[in-house]
């Protein structure tokens, strides 16, 4: 069996000078390297796994990192927030994770419309909360949306996560195997309610 390190070396050695070569390298990354990195991540963070009915996901143009928390927590429902121009990335995320249309919902946010984010999160949370707990992954969000989502999470009593990794600008991807799960503790758990 080929290891993650071996697959990374194969991927890094693939020529990426033309659009066609870039497509071949990206496909190899998506189908061979990323699933193995997700397995490694799941094994490493198995003790952090929680049972969430729903997971909110802020997704940016680099959809790959958004898959890690979904793969770890395996929620029954995922609600993605992103921009309209990232519809293809949502489909790639859905395909990578094997999510059916019934378990994935997507809300496209225009500009910096934080009010829409708040309203949709509240409405979806109210539906999910009757069945089970929810969390949010702010990994792919802009600075504005990550901050707004974290504030909404505090109000809704959601757990907040972020997946960090080392970025490889020459390959236009993150370094597989460097993913780190960051659990941002709730304000109330640290300073309490006064």
Radius of gyration, CA atoms only, the chain: 17
pLDDT of residue 62: 83
Domains and CATH numbers, the chain: 49-191 (3.40.50.10770)
Residue 140 pLDDT > 80: yes
pLDDT digit string, tens, across residues 11-65: 999 998 999 999 999 999 999 999 999 999 999 999 999 999 999 999 988 899 9
> Sheet of 159-164: strands edge to edge?
104-108, 77-82, 54-58, 134-137, 159-164, 180-184
Bridge pairing between strands 167-168 and 173-174: antiparallel
Average pLDDT across the chain, whole number: 92
- Number of helices (H) and strands (E) in the chain: give both, helices first: 8, 8
pTM: 0.91
More confident residue, 171 or 24: 24
Asked whether the beta carbons of 93 and 60 are under 8 A apart, the reply is no
């Amino acid at each position: 069996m080929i290891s993650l390190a071996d697959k990374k070396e194969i991927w890094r050695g693939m020529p990426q000078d033309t659009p066609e070569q870039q497509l071949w390298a990206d496909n190899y990354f998506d189908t061979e390297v990323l699933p193995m990195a997700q397995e490694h991540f799941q094994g490493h963070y198995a003790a952090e796994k929680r049972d969430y009915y729903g997971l909110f996901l802020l997704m940016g143009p680099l959809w790959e990192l958004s898959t890690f928390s979904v793969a770890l927590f395996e929620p029954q429902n995922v609600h993605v927030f992103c921009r309209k121009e990232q519809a293809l990335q949502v489909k790639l995320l859905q395909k990578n994770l094997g999510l059916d249309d019934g378990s994935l919902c997507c809300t496209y946010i225009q500009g910096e419309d934080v009010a829409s984010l708040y309203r949709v999160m509240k409405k979806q949370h109210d539906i999910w909360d009757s069945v089970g707990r929810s969390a949010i992954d702010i990994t792919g969000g802009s600075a504005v949306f990550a901050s707004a989502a974290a504030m909404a999470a505090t109000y809704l009593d959601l757990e907040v996560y972020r997946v960090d990794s080392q970025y490889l600008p020459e390959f236009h991807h993150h370094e597989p195997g460097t993913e780190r799960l960051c659990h941002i503790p709730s304000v109330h758990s640290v300073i309490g309610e006064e």
